Amino acid sequence: MRSLGVLIVRLVVGGLLVGHGAQKLFGAFGGRGIEGTTGWMESMQLRPASLWARAAGGSEFFGGLFTVLGFLNPIGPVLAMGSMAMAWAKVHLGKPVWVSEGGAELPITNMAVLSALTLAGPGRLSIDGLFGIRLPRWIGATALAGMFAALWWGARDEVQRGADALAQKSRELVGVMDIPASETTFSEEAPGAAELDASLAGTAMGSGSTLGSETPDEF
């Protein structure tokens, strides 16, 4: 049953990603095609735009296809995650998370599912499962590192701005602020500070200004 459940997830998520990639590469399903996708990449300051257009479409198409087939896991999910992460950084970063407000709800959901498939594997109902294919871990780690490197290369400015904004919000939440030391401590030159302390002591202990001064002299 576990393998059947994983198969359903692979078919749905991977199949939809194949469709998105086909839109970008071939203009299928009413998509932009490679020329329209190139113009879109240019508008996002991704240059050379034609290379990024092919990379975006290819990562979705082939990443989704490998995910559907359960072939050479985790190459498929990692490829697809690269496109989702780039979309999050370039299009949705800084917006509310909800898709109705232009946020990254869908890319985050896809990345969560793809991460789960990367860790859990494609299951027995897959090409890897049927033929006993298991890639060495270093291949998956290399693919993941390459994905993060491409993300940083293409969206480093947006990621940096997002990190700065997050740090600023964190400082605001914890109430961090720069307060001059003179406002938080008594200064030796503060007028009347010594007299105030003495008068308070006298009020607390009696009419005198020092501890025990109210004690009668003859006692």
- The answer to whether residue 119 sits within a structural domain is yes
Domain assignment present for 107: yes
* Distance of alpha carbon 219 from alpha carbon 209, whole angstroms: 19
Domain assignment present for residue 91? The answer is yes
Instruction: Let me know if residue 196 belongs to a domain.
Output: no
Q: What's the pLDDT tens digit per position in 59-92?
A: 999 999 999 999 999 999 999 999 999 988 888 8
Sign of the C-alpha dihedral computed for residues 19, 24, 25 and 26 taken in this order: positive
Within a domain: 69: yes
Residue 205 within any structural domain of the chain: no
Q: Domain residues for 149?
A: 2-173
pLDDT tens-digit readout, 4-46: 999 999 999 999 999 999 999 999 999 999 999 999 999 988 8
Is pTM beyond 0.75 here? Answer: no
Query: Do the domain assignments include residue 161?
Result: yes
**Domain tally, the chain:** 1
Split at pLDDT 50, 70, 90, the class of 207 is very low
Q: Is 170 exposed, middle or buried (0-12, 13-18, 19+ CB in 10 A)?
A: exposed
Asked if the structure places residue 14 within a domain, the reply is yes
How many Å apart are CA 209 and CA 88, to the nearest integer? Answer: 69
Angle at 144 between CA 111 and CA 35, to 5 degrees: 70
What are the tokens at 151?
Answer: 């993300």
Min mean pLDDT across 14-23, 64-73, 125-134, 137-146 is at 137-146
Q: What integer pLDDT is reported at residue 178 of this predicted model?
A: 52
